[in-house]
Structure 1
Amino acid sequence: MARKSKKAKTKKIVRREYTKADVKELRAHSKARTPVAAIAKVTKRTEGSLRQKARALGIPLGHQR
């Protein structure tokens, strides 16, 4: 019998569209100057995803100074 190689399990990428509510929440966080790491935890999205969406919407994000 042939042995099966043990591969490291990787997470499957699940893409979720941004709803109007998501965009409204992102705008509110931008106005409140919430750090991107905190927004990522709340929205369950990656920091990169949030930054890309904010850039597409033309709103500033990432106010950690």
Structure 2
Amino acid sequence: MAKKKKLVRREWTKENIKELKAHSKARTPVVKIAKMTKRTEGALRQKAIVLGIGLGHQR
């Protein structure tokens, strides 16, 4: 049987949100943001939707 990966949940601080908005403005790729913040791409995209901001390189 495969081992399950432990789920790690972290709250979004005001500083995290400020950083996400800055990356949104700079059009930083979501993959890079995910590695820097240690969050999944899905988590970043979901938060961006809630905040009403765009993420990454939209064409």
Which band: TM-score by shorter chain? Answer: over 0.9
TM-score (structure 2 length as normaliser): 0.92
2:8 corresponds to which of 7, 14, 17: 14
Q: How many correspondences in the alignment?
A: 59
In percent, how many aligned pairs have the same letter?
75
More helix by share: 2
Larger RCO (alpha carbons 8 Å, 6+ apart): 2
TM-score (structure 1 length as normaliser): 0.84
Computed over aligned residues only, the root mean square deviation of the Cα atoms, in angstroms, reads: 1.1
1:52 aligns with 2:51: no
What are structure 1's unaligned runs of at least 5 residues? Answer: 1-6
Structure showing greater Rg = 1
